């Protein structure tokens, strides 16, 4: 296995994590209120989901995409319902209280749930890894998988460190803290939209096979 392939896999893992989505926004909102410590716990939990979806994406590229559409349809439905629930909680928080960012009370567990149910996870991971490493697909074998996943995991870690560092910069924290209520509601709307799309995609996939 070439060093180029391992480097590209790490780059794909990095780009997957830093691409904007629900968790990306949640990290910045959470850091503004609770600081880098809470954000670090959130991304640590989210790393579990990153690893699961990255493994599935690499498995699909190597040749195991026959895992089955039903599995991903069910995951899409669960993703959508979870994010819509979180979104409405953020949108309709009590006006007289300060908006609480997603994950403020239990950042580690919330990060785990986000990582495992994030609707962008599988399609984005397949797109990122596919774009950078699919050219090597004919050279890949199952015994290469642990090395590829280790490289991707390194990319995940580096991206998480970069995100937490940037989110904790004073200028960034002040911006999110000053406009916290508006941002929290905006993030809630985005969560609802992501959730609705996830449910719609799952329903469309099921209808197409029916």
| Percentage of the residues of the chain whose pLDDT score is greater than 70 | 72
Is the sign of the CA dihedral 19, 127, 41, 26 positive or negative? Answer: positive
CB 50 within 8 A of CB 118: no
Q: How far is 143 from 132, CA to CA, in rounded Å?
A: 19
Domain map of the chain by residue range?
Answer: 3-13+20-209
Looking up tokens 């026959």, which residue turns up?
Answer: 66
Quickly state the pLDDT bin for 162 (edges 50, 70, 90).
very high
End-to-end CA distance of the chain: 41
Average pLDDT, stretch 105-110?
Answer: 80
Of residues 162, 164, 156, the one with CA closest to residue 38: 164
* Average per-residue pLDDT for the chain: 77
Of residues 117, 124, 85, 116, the one with CA closest to residue 102: 85
CB 9 within 8 A of CB 144: no
Q: Which residue has the higher pLDDT, 180 or 50?
A: 50
Residue 102: per-residue pLDDT: 60
- DSSP state letter for 210: -
Q: How far is 187 from 35, CA to CA, in rounded Å?
A: 18
Of residues 61, 165, 145, 79, the one with CA closest to residue 115: 79
The pLDDT tens digits of the residues spanning 7-59 come to: 888 898 898 888 766 777 788 878 887 888 888 999 998 888 888 878 877 77
pTM, two decimals, is 0.65
Within 8 A by CB and 6+ apart from 54, the residues are 13, 16, 125, 129, 149, 152, 153, 156
Looking up tokens 């990095």, which residue turns up?
Answer: 14
């Amino acid at each position: 296995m070439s060093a180029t392939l391992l480097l590209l896999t790490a780059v794909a893992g990095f780009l997957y994590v830093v691409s904007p989505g629900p968790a990306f926004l949640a990290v910045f909102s959470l850091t503004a209120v609770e600081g880098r410590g809470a954000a670090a716990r959130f991304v640590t939990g989210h790393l579990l989901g990153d690893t699961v979806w990255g493994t599935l994406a690499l498995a699909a590229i190597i040749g195991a995409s026959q895992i089955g559409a039903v599995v991903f349809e069910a995951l899409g439905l669960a993703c959508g319902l979870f994010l819509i629930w979180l979104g409405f909680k953020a949108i309709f928080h009590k006006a007289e209280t300060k908006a609480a960012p997603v994950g403020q009370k239990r950042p580690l567990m919330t990060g785990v749930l986000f990582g495992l149910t994030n609707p962008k996870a599988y399609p984005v991971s397949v797109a990122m890894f596919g774009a950078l490493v699919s050219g090597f697909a004919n050279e890949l074998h199952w015994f290469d998988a642990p090395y590829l996943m280790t490289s991707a995991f390194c990319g995940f870690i580096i991206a998480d460190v970069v995100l937490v560092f940037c989110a904790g910069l004073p200028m960034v924290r002040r911006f999110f803290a000053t406009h916290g209520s508006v941002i929290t509601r905006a993030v809630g709307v985005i969560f609802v939209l992501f959730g609705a799309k996830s449910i719609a995609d799952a329903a469309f996939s099921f209808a197409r096979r029916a």
